[in-house]
């Protein structure tokens, strides 16, 4: 593309951002749509987040994505926050509005779209969710809001799982999240579940790490979805497959959270054909 005086700018703020694949998503979509738009990463030093958001608004950036460690810290810097993002307590997408930026959480809707594409259902399902950190907390909200029948929230520290469960259950006004210690495999009903791996355990270079290493657990999983996408196949995924289940990594979640952000910024609908083109470009970094 040719950058000129009409080129609109979007980007990613976080620390670090050098590893990001988001430019692949947005710059490919801009090319597909013929939009005069460029997407670049912006590293933001500790203590400079408010300055960065204010500066981005002053420079009239069209939108920003937000990554670690700023997804919660950015909220007080915003003019407005979408209700889902406010409930989750995390924002990953900023869209320009008069006065500043409005914050959204496209991570969870990105996960939902990724699951729908793979014919993975949430509504009326019983689900196991591993971890009670920020990502798993957001997934717990997604499952509750999308009509999951029951979510067994398994975490090493039971008290932390209990806190998340109480918070989500109170928010959705029904008992849907049930905390269980990682050692409590035997307390799970005798059936097979969708299991979502929501921790950072297993990220490269620690590719042999896994949250739970109990074969009895994996015998209860018909489908495993790991939010991690590097490595391409985590040990969690391998164990699910070895016990007869289907397993997916988080690359399509990354894809669709970016697509939803692009749609917000540009007022367009990205087709599955275009999504497929972007996905193949993302895969080139792994396979």
What's the domain range around 50? Answer: 8-104+252-283
- Whether residue 21 is contained in a domain is answered as yes
- Whether residue 175 is contained in a domain is answered as yes
Can you give 145-174 as a three-state secondary structure string?
Answer: HCCCCEEEEEECCHHHHHHHHHHHHHHHCC
Over residues 212-248, the pLDDT tens digits come to 999 999 999 999 999 999 999 999 999 999 999 999 9
Question: Which one from 54, 71, 220, 269 is the annotated catalytic residue?
Answer: 71
71 noted as active-site residue: yes
Handedness of CA 279, 280, 282, 283 (dihedral sign): positive
**What average pLDDT does range 86-113 have in this prediction?**
96
Specify the number of domains making up the chain.
2
Statement to judge: residues 137 and 166 lie in one domain: yes
Mean pLDDT score across all residues of the chain:
96
pTM for the whole thing? Answer: 0.95
Over residues 28-78, the pLDDT tens digits come to 999 999 999 999 999 999 999 999 999 999 999 999 999 999 999 999 999
- Whether residue 210 is contained in a domain is answered as yes
Per-residue model confidence (pLDDT) at position 287: 75
In Å, what is the CA distance from 120 to each residue of 113, 117, 248, 259? 10, 8, 10, 19
- Whether residue 266 is contained in a domain is answered as yes
Statement to judge: residues 151 and 221 lie in one domain: yes
CATH number at residue 156: 3.40.50.720
Count CA atoms closer than 13 A to 92's CA, side-chain side: 23
- Whether residue 3 is contained in a domain is answered as no
Q: Quick check: 1 pLDDT over 90?
A: no
Statement to judge: residues 125 and 97 lie in one domain: no
How many angstroms separate the CA atoms of 151 and 5, rounded?
Answer: 51
Per-residue model confidence (pLDDT) at position 212: 96
How many angstroms separate the CA atoms of 169 and 42, rounded?
Answer: 37
Q: Quick check: 18 pLDDT over 80?
A: yes
Strand 100-104 relative to strand 150-155: parallel, antiparallel, unpaired? unpaired
How many angstroms separate the CA atoms of 201 and 266, rounded?
Answer: 35
- Whether residue 1 is contained in a domain is answered as no
Query: What is the enclosing helix (H) or strand (E) of 226?
Result: strand 221-226
How many angstroms separate the CA atoms of 254 and 247, rounded?
Answer: 16
* Structural tokens at position 205: 């270079």
**Taking a C-beta distance cutoff of 8 angstroms, is the pair 147, 174 a contact?**
no
What is the signed CA dihedral for 235, 240, 244, 246, rounded to 10 degrees?
-110
What's the length of the chain? 287
Statement to judge: residues 141 and 52 lie in one domain: no
Statement to judge: residues 31 and 85 lie in one domain: yes
């Amino acid at each position: 593309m040719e950058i000129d005086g009409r080129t609109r700018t979007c980007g990613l703020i976080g620390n670090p951002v050098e590893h990001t694949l988001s430019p692949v998503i947005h710059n490919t979509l801009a090319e597909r749509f013929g939009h005069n738009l460029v997407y670049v990463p912006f590293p933001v030093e500790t203590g400079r987040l408010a300055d960065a958001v204010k500066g981005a608004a002053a420079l009239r950036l069209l939108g920003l994505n937000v990554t670690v460690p700023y997804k919660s810290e950015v909220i007080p810097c915003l003019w407005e926050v979408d209700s889902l993002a406010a409930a989750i307590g995390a924002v990953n997408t900023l869209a320009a509005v008069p006065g500043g930026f409005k914050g959204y959480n496209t991570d969870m809707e990105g996960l939902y779209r990724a699951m729908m594409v793979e014919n993975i259902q949430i509504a009326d399902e019983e689900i196991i969710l591993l971890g009670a950190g920020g990502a798993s907390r957001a997934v717990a909200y997604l499952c509750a809001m999308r009509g999951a029948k029951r979510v067994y929230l398994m975490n090493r520290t039971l008290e932390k799982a209990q806190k998340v469960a109480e918070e989500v259950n109170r928010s959705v006004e029904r008992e849907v999240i049930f905390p269980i210690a990682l050692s409590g495999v035997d307390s799970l009903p005798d059936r097979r579940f969708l299991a979502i791996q929501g921790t950072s355990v297993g990220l490269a270079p620690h590719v042999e790490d896994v949250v739970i290493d109990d074969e009895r657990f994996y015998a209860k999983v018909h489908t495993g979805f790991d939010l991690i996408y590097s490595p391409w196949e985590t040990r969690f995924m391998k164990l699910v497959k070895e016990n007869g289940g289907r397993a997916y990594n988080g690359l399509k979640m990354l894809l669709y959270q970016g697509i939803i952000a692009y749609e917000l910024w540009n007022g367009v609908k990205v087709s599955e054909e275009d999504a497929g083109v972007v996905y193949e470009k993302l895969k080139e970094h792994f396979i």
